[in-house]
Amino acid sequence: MTINEIQDQIIEEFAQFGDWMERYEYLIDLGRSLGPFDERHKTPEYLIEGCQSKVWLYPSFEEGIITFTADSDALITRGIVALLVRVFSGRTPAEIVDARIYFIEKIGLRENLSPTRSNGLLAMMKQMRLYALAYKTKQEHS
């Protein structure tokens, strides 16, 4: 599936919820079922410090594919982290660099990515792109 196909899939999943409460309950479930994050990577290097919640993001790059694992100390943030990992992990650097993210807005979570929220999510998205750019440059020069 392409990045956009996954985004559309997420939009469809959220379309079945009636009200905000159900959406947030789903996010909480997603947060709970997010894959494990290696505790050894909970270091300042991989920490994205928001004022409201913390996010850890760990990249690895193998055979042209970037894999992200991530975590957060807040459960709803973790739910959104899970969605971002689902969209961005297992992609080539070029796919990530070229991606346009529209699903967050479509599922009514836009305020969660506003710079004033300072929950680490916006910075996390930026960081994912930065890693992708770095890997892309590395690819082009090897």
Partner 1 sequence: MKLAKSIEEIRSDFPILSTKAYGKPLVYLDNGATTQKPLQVIKLLEELYRTTNANVHRGVHYLSDMVSERYEAARETVRAFINAGAREEIIFTAGTTASINAVAFSFGERYVREGDEIVISGMEHHANIVPWQMLCERKKAKLKVIPFSDAGVLDLEAYRSLLSERTRIVAVTHVSNVLGTINPVKEIVAEAHRHGIPVLIDGAQGIQHGMVDVTDFDCDFYVFSGHKVYGPNGIGVLYGKAEVLNELPPYQGGGDMVANVTFEKTTYNVLPFKFEAGTTNFTGAIGLAAALDYISLLGREAVTEREQALLARATTGLSAIEGLRIYGTAPQKVSLISFLPGAIHQYDAGMILDKMGIAVRTGTHCAQPLMGRYGITGNIRASIAFYNTEDEVDALVKGVRKVTEMFA
Give the largest CA-CA distance in the chain: 50
Instruction: State how far the Cα of 90 lies from the Cα of 12, in Å rounded to an integer.
Output: 21
Count interface residues toward partner 1 (CB under 8 A).
15
What is the DSSP code (8-state) at residue 61? Answer: E
- The single residue of 12, 38, 49, 51 carrying the catalytic annotation is 51
- When the beta carbons of 51 and 130 are compared against partner 1, the nearer one is 51
Instruction: State how far the Cα of 26 lies from the Cα of 106, in Å rounded to an integer.
Output: 15
In the list 30, 48, 53, 128, the residue contacting partner 1 (rule: CB under 8 A) is 53
Q: How far apart are the first and last CA of the chain?
A: 28
Q: For residue 51, indicate whether it is catalytic.
A: yes
Contacts with partner 1 in 71-90 (CB under 8 A)? 73-77
24 counts as binding partner 1 under rule CB under 8 A: yes
* Of 95, 94, 92, 84, nearest in space to 126 by CA: 84
Structure tokens given for 39 = 């505790």
Stretch that binds partner 1, among 3-11, 20-28, 40-48, 91-99 (CB under 8 A): 20-28
Positions marked catalytic: 51
Which stretches of the chain bind partner 1, using CB under 8 A?
20-21, 24-25, 28, 51-54, 73-77, 119
